[in-house]
Each structure stands twice: as structure tokens, then as C-alpha cells.
A and B are shown apart, each in its own frame.
Chain A
Amino acid sequence: MPEPAIARETSPTQALFRIHIRGSLQEVWDEITRTDDVIPCFFNMRMHAERLQKGARLQMRTKSEKYVGVVGEVLEWDPPRRFAHTFRFTQMDDPPCKVSYELVEKDDGVEFTLRISELTPGTKSAKQMVQGAVMILNTLKAVIETGRPSLGTRALFVLFALLEPLTPRRCRTENWSSN
């Protein structure tokens, strides 16, 4: 099926992703802001924060809490409709980007928009952020609508757990205690 391909801009500074979820606003909000357990849609990581509110520092830790994958600061906190925070991978030295989650009631469900902005062109972080977005949305939808992630995603979580000991030492939680 040869069709002329258009050269792709590999380093966008902003990306948008949207999905419709059959569930309530509160269910979706609670799922993306929970701190009492792992969050499947965030790659089965655990959100750690003293108290989620504007200005709070947050971390995404592995299930065992031995490693910190992401650090950030809450920029917007407007329950149950809008949550935005800075986002930086601890494995990389790239500058942080901004992630926002926007929830709107629509068609007996929730229209969920994930906006990734202030991406630094050409960085590995920018590439990974855009690549991971679809999985975040699909997993969130599956968890709200069926109670758990898809089989393929659950298999990935098993793989993540197996590979956890290979995480670089710089990501160990004790190295990020001040964040």
C-alpha cells in the first residue's frame, strides 16, 4: 500500500491524547490521584506525596518503593477536573516537562485528556513521554471499565517487577529523599 510518507517532526514540544471512559468523574479522578496503592495506568507505580495540593512535591515510585522513577511538583490541583504537575525522569538529566490531566463529563462518561507540554525537543524524555501516553489512557480506561488492566499490560507489570533490580542506582529512593 505505498502512499507518500511525510517526514515526521521527531521532537514536538506538546502532545495531546484523549479517550472516552465509561465511568464517573470521581472514579477517574480517584484513580489518577491515589496514594494508597499502585496506579496501574502510571505503569504500576505508586504516587508518593505528603499531601496532593498546589506546590506539593510528588514522586512516582516502584511498587516496592525502592526506586523513584519520576519526580515532579504539583502545578494545578482542581479536584475532580484538573491536575497538572512537572515531570522529570530520575534516570535522565533532561529538563522537566509538564503533564496535565483534564476530565470533562461527556456522553454518560468522562472525556479524559492527557496533555504533555514544555517537552524539550530531541531529548529521550520527550520521546518516552509521547510513546507512553497511549498506554496510560488505555490502561486507565480498562481499570475504570473492567476493574483491571488488559492481560498484555498485566504481563508487562510482571516484566517490570522482574527487571526492577536492574534499575540504575541513582534512582534508589534514598537518593531522592529531598524531592
Chain B
Amino acid sequence: MKPDAMDAVFAALASRERRQMLDLVLAHPGCGVNQVAAHFAMSRVGVLKHLRLLEEAGLVLSEKVGRVRRLYFNAVPIQQIHARWSDRYGALFANHMVAIQERVESRNRQRKTNRA
């Protein structure tokens, strides 16, 4: 993930209103802007500005269906950020998996030898 893209995600998430909007879009995939705006005591233009920031950060995807713009939550940028700081645990997990594989294969080899 490029530094600018990561900055955009953190900036988008650094607002309580935008986090709540993200919650709404996550909870109601395909919802419209009006549906989101109904939950906030701010103008529709204000809501649109927040949604634009979320969209620019890649956290919200929108597509036009007829006259309505439908909104969807995109988990990918958050997962990429998570992966950046959790890879060391991934490595630990990988070592355990490889150890399990080796144990199972060694046991199977031993069984075959005993049968022979």
C-alpha cells in the first residue's frame, strides 16, 4: 500500500462521523446517500463531503444504479493496514504449520515402514 493511500485511510477514519457512516454502509450494503444522511444532523452536502473522503480512501465503493448511487463497504484497505503490522504473527503461524506438516509426514513414513 502506497504511503499516500495509507494516509488517506487514516485521515478518513480520523472522524467519528465518518466512522459512523462506514458502520452504516457496512451494515446496509447497497444503501443510498439519503439513507446515510437520515442518521446525521448535518446537511446532505456535508454528508456527501464525508462520503467522498471515505470513497477516496477506498473504504467506500459506489456505483450508480438508475438514479440512485449505491454504497458498499470495501474492507481491503483496512485489511492491508492490519497485515502490515501483523505479519510477524503470520510468520509464527507459518512455522507452526510447517512443524505440523513435518510431524504428520514423519508419522506417516514411520507407519509405512512398520507395515513393511
Contacts and interface: CB of A to CB of B under 8 A. Distances in A.
Query: Is chain B found bound to chain A in the same assembly?
Result: yes
Interface of A: 3-9, 12-20, 113, 133-134, 137-138, 150-152, 154-156, 158-159, 161-162
A166 to B, nearest CB: 12
A9 B29 contact: yes
Given A3-B20, A138-B79, A159-B97, A12 B91 contact: no
Interface of B: 5, 16, 19-20, 23-24, 26-30, 58, 61, 63, 72, 74-76, 79-80, 83, 87, 90-91, 93-94, 96-98, 100-101, 104
Contacts, number: 80
Contact of A18 (B5, B27, B74, B104): B74
Nearest to A14: B30
Contacts of A16: 61, 63, 72, 74
B interface, by DSSP: helix, strand, loop or mixed? helix
Given A13-B30, A16-B61, 16 more contacts: A8-B26, A14-B72, A17-B61, A17-B76, A20-B58, A113-B61, A134-B79, A138-B76, A138-B79, A150-B87, A151-B87, A151-B94, A152-B83, A155-B97, A158-B97, A159-B100
A19 B94 contact: no
